[in-house]
Amino acid sequence: MRVTVSDIVSLYRPTPCDLRIYLREHDFPEAEPSAFDEILRTLGERHEQQHLATLGACEDISAIPAPDRVSRTIEAIQNHLRVIYQGEFALETDVAGIPVIVVGRPDYLIWDTDGYIIRDSKLSRQVDADHHVEITLQFQLYGWLFERTIGERAKRLQVHTGKRDIVDVPCDGGVAAILAELERVLRLKQLGAEPYEPVGWTKCGGCGFNKYCWDKAQESGDVALVAEVDQGLARQPTSSANPRRQMRATRTGVTLCGNQLKKT
């Protein structure tokens, strides 16, 4: 099974949701990117190319046939090439006893006197402990892949932000955090049945599975459709005598299941 850095990002963006990983793994149809998504993608590519142009000559791994990219990346690192663009790592390992290939492609690997800096361009203007946890996790995974593949630590992990700042990303304690995230992704991919995930206006608004999840919630009368029901309440465990599916959200209110809602 493959786990990529994009899987980790998918857990958190556009909003945190475990179900997104399961649906993507099982090829559920996802909406085409919106015009806004396309604009963001174009801006992201331009931002990346503008930064690349400031770094001088580079080894462009994206121009190499896919089967050779990992070996060419390792070779370029061993030769201390100054800038490696779109390098690729693919590490065969096991996580929680599950055999897995972990894949990551940092935008730039930059040789700096005695070691490599791993850097990515992001449109996000602020990246720190309180903003964009997925970016921190992404870099921790890059750092972990680099160290496991090359046998030494990356010198620094850095984000080229939407403000064109270069911000260091801390990698202390990253191994435990990233292994926990990898295990979480693997378990979601391996589930035998679709996990329950309550829908929400803010949560689902920008998600490509919006239509699928809302149609399903409406068909089943999921209690998460009721405005007064928060995500925590919707997730509450059910019993055979009191299954969540017995809750009924209607236009006029809620047909009670359990003893917590009595709106009609």
How far is the C-alpha of 255 from the C-alpha of 264, rounded, in Å?
Answer: 7
Least distance (Å) from ligand SF4 to the CB of residue 97?
Answer: 27
Positive or negative, the Cα torsion across 190, 191, 194, 197?
negative
Distance of closest approach, residue 189 Cβ to ligand SF4, in angstroms: 14
* Cβ-based nearer residue to ligand SF4, 48 or 222: 222
Least distance from C-beta 243 to ligand SF4, angstroms? 19
Q: How far is the CB of 206 from ligand SF4 (least distance, A)?
A: 8
CA distance 171 to 154: 10
Closer to ligand SF4 at the Cβ: 169 or 199?
Answer: 199
Looking at the Cβ atoms of 11 and 77, the one nearer to ligand SF4 is 11
**Judged by CB, which is closer to ligand SF4: 45, or 194?**
194
Residue 88 vs 197, nearer CB to ligand SF4: 197
In angstroms, rounded to a whole number, what is the distance separating the alpha carbons of residues 74 and 80?
A: 10
Task: Locate 89 and state its tokens.
Answer: 């790592």
Helices 133-150 and 5-12: crossing angle, nearest 10°? 160
We find the least distance from the C-beta atom of residue 34 to ligand SF4, in angstroms, to be 14
What is the nearest approach in angstroms of ligand SF4 to the Cβ of residue 192? Answer: 18
Whichever of 25 and 147 has its CB closer to ligand SF4, that residue is 25
Interacting residues with ligand SF4 (CB under 6 A): 15, 17, 19-20, 23, 197, 199, 203-204, 207, 209-210, 213
